[in-house]
Structure 1
């Protein structure tokens, strides 16, 4: 494989955890978030090359159609978390937008028969700027956020990932930002550990399978062990479908840890 071959140029697609609110930028005496922060800090160095842009889908934005931030300049930040210290509402991550990438992403989806639109007024929510401020602290990589599609159909989000896959050969890092376990009543509850581990084991087997088996498993994710305990609502899991759909290769588990007593994983798709 030569350095300028398509496979050499291709960036992976990622499914990452984005933590809880602005957790990485607050005192953490028990180091609940230390391992996750270390994983995020290492992301850029783990890539085969520096991305020219980032396309990231967060579990915190749903729209009738897949919608892309299309602001000229920096899109701004949405501090969509509540009850945290005042300084966490002053966090900055002034990455530039990329309207051309937004247009390209929407066109790829439309060409695949999927609903897509642009929003020039939308900023980055905390599912974007919190983990990206850790992973790309210089905020110098142009970034576009894509919404989930209302209805949260896993097959539709897998299809969106497949449609967006060509971006990986164009220097774009495709990221799904969520949490592989997302039950607010489960965090810190000892009774949630065993169910979260069971779901995490299933999710790891599904994500690391070949593309066809993976797609079938993820489409039927709600039948997994303790699926609805792990995700009473699946908005934090659906970004995985986009990342997984963007690759024909078996995935690999990139990160795994007990966080607040629950199993959390990240996945990479070459």
Structure 2
């Protein structure tokens, strides 16, 4: 049985830099060998959950600007799986979740930068799914719940986002980690480990520095989706944690 993962995609530079985090991703990819990947990306928003049903090879989307030319030369040539997309759509429909499919959109950097590091050969089918950032955390959790059990079939579910993601407060010259970012993640870890889902669902009003950490929810909701998709008897654990630019979190979870 495969776990569900929440992975931080941070800066697009992780696709070409050699850092402790990219080395972690490479190691993680060697440890977990799925037969297919389902990835919810913070960089694809829609009012209706949209499931990629690309038949063939994905285009690589460069949804960023101002980065080195080397980054724009990467092509992540993963293939889609219309069959798995159809199955996911049915699983969500069974739980009353409205969805639609898209057979044209490529992989955005919330997906391919991570996968490029974990599975550089791009030989594992990928189904990319959008997020609706303004649904409640409870509903995000239920979206994940609809896919619970896919891990038993060696299908890897990844929520790609960031816990503390406030680019307006990023300090590109930082030499230390800002305490408020650490405090938010510490609170999150405590509630996950105690399975205090009620508090997690109400993080906006009770977590320390929640508005600073999550000024807009699109990067945080993949966390709830990944959490919901995990087996009920899962043991949640932090598998990586670091910070960039003073407060950009690279907290990663295995559920």
TM-score (norm 2): 0.92
> How do residues 118-267 of structure 1 correspond to structure 2 at under 5 angstroms?
118-188=101-171, 193-210=178-195, 213=196, 215-223=197-205, 224-247=207-230, 248=232, 249-262=234-247, 263-267=249-253
Matched with 2:31 is 46
> How do residues 4-43 of structure 1 correspond to structure 2 at under 5 angstroms?
10-26=1-17, 34-43=19-28
Q: Secondary structure at the match of 2:226?
A: helix
Unaligned runs of 5+ in 2: none
Matched with 1:30 is none
Matched, 1:83 2:69: no
In 2, the alpha carbon distance for the partners of 1:237 and 1:100 equals 28
In 2, the alpha carbon distance for the partners of 1:22 and 1:260 equals 13
In 2, the alpha carbon distance for the partners of 1:230 and 1:114 equals 28
Partners of 1:67 and 1:106 within 8 A in 2: no
Partners of 1:56 and 1:146 within 8 A in 2: yes
1:150: how far off? 4.8
In 1, the alpha carbon distance for the partners of 2:243 and 2:11 equals 14
1:192: how far off? 6.8
Partners of 1:59 and 1:127 within 8 A in 2: yes
Q: Secondary structure at the match of 2:167?
A: coil
Partners of 2:15 and 2:71 within 8 A in 1: no
Partners of 1:152 and 1:235 within 8 A in 2: no
CA RMSD, 1 decimal: 1.7
1:250: how far off? 3.6
In 2, the alpha carbon distance for the partners of 1:44 and 1:94 equals 17
Matched, 1:74 2:61: no
How many residues align? The count is 249
